[in-house]
Copies of this chain bind each other. A is one copy, B any other.
Amino acid sequence: MSITAPAGFRAAGVIAGLKASRKSDVALVVNDGPLHVGAAVFTTNRVVGAPVTWSRQVVADGVINAVVLNSGGANVCTGPEGFADTHHTAERVAELLGCSAGDVVVCSTGLIGERLPMDKLLPGVDSAVAALHTDGGDDAATAIMTTDTVPKITHVIRAGWSVGGMAKGAGMLAPAMATMLSVLTTDAVVDAATADAALRAATATTFDRVDSDGCMSTSDTVTLLASGASGVEVGLAELTDALTQACGDLARALVADAEGASHDIAVKVVGAHSEAAAVAVARAVTRSNLFKAAMFGNDPNWGRILSQVGTVPIEVAEFEADQLDVAINGVQICRGGAAGADRSLVDLAAQREVHVEIDLNAGSHEATVWTNDLTHDYIHENSAYST
């Protein structure tokens, strides 16, 4: 159960033939109401796909009736013709559902720079509408996969209402949202302003704190649909809490399925003078190819952690180099900026998860950013992707 677990939603996933693999590639999620409240957050990249340009307009009024998503092509850098393709896709959905095209969010994922084959996509939309079902969540989650090896779904249950979610993303996965598409649904009764504020707060501490490969996407879109079908009125704090749990589940699932990864790595920074400082230091470490290659080699190379911490300017994070402590999987391998416990005490090979804790000893704030190791399989997948 995922996006169709909350009341008021139908979904579908079908094969339109956009992928050479002939796996399912068009997904549709419909909000049957009674409310049609919607919110969305998008990539901050200045180069964005036609679907992002389109969907930013759709969500402006806080009303969304449906989300149509395709894998097999990102429709990015495709010019005015690409935008027309997105527009036509929304119009086809709207026509079949009897709503306005201006209330249909469009998401596309795949290779940048190529037009979508509309002669396949539009019939795919027809099939998806025909296949809509209140149990269709898993089919939709499967249809948005690209290099993902498993569908990512979640369901967070509260008293009388719930949040469902699905996401895709395995590469080009970095902050300012993890590179991915996600749809969240809830049957809570909320207004558009609450939906928007809760979604922004929830993504800021979950998807925004995943950095798999440092590469920001042109297509990231997280859409929230609220049907109100539970009849339960929910406030901002409650909704934010449930969405944060749902987004956290999905973000963690993205890291766990990151391209070629053999380790999921949590970099937790404590003792920071602000949360922003903790995030900045954690991000600097999660961006280091040297650190990530060391993790792949099961090498607890704390020197590569400290050298990254040292790249963060003092205006961003206060700390003294000789006050830095680092623990890996609970072993205090660096104390006061110098060698601590023996590195042989750290066993990285035993489990997939790695927990790095960096204490700046400069305050009481903390933050965690998730990443993964840099492996031969990442190189392999990404040197051969489009050819």
Contact = CB atoms under 8 A, between A and B. Distances in A.
Interface of A: 45-48, 74, 76-79, 82, 111-114, 171-172, 176, 213-218, 287-290, 293-294, 296-299, 301-304, 306-314, 319, 321-322, 324, 334, 336-339, 374-376, 378-380, 382-387
Contacts of A384: 297, 299
A127 B100 CA distance: 84
A77 B380 CA distance: 35
Contacts of A306: 47, 76-77, 112-113, 218
Given A297-B384, A299-B386, A374 B337 contact: no
A212 to B, nearest CB: 9
Contacts of A324: 47
Does more than half of chain A's interface fall in helix, strand or loop, or is it mixed?
loop
A301 B82 CA distance: 19
Contacts of A46: 309-314, 319, 321
Contact of A217 (B76, B213, B307, B387): B307
27 contacts: A46-B309, A47-B306, A47-B310, A47-B324, A76-B306, A76-B307, A77-B303, A77-B337, A79-B322, A79-B338, A112-B301, A112-B304, A112-B307, A113-B303, A113-B339, A114-B339, A171-B290, A213-B290, A214-B289, A216-B307, A216-B311, A218-B303, A289-B374, A289-B378, A289-B382, A293-B382, A303-B386
Given A74-B303, A77-B321, A214-B288, 15 more contacts: A46-B309, A46-B310, A46-B311, A48-B321, A113-B306, A113-B334, A113-B339, A171-B290, A215-B289, A218-B310, A297-B383, A297-B385, A298-B387, A301-B386, A374-B379
Given A289-B382, A290-B382, A113 B297 contact: no
A386 B216 CA distance: 31
Contacts of A76: 303, 306-307
Nearest to A44: B311
A50 to B, nearest CB: 11
A47 B304 CA distance: 11
B310 A45 contact: yes
A351 B293 CA distance: 27
Nearest to A291: B215
B374 A113 contact: no
A304 B382 CA distance: 11
Contact of A379 (B296, B310, B321): B296
Contact of A307 (B47, B82, B114, B383): B47
Contacts of A302: 112-113
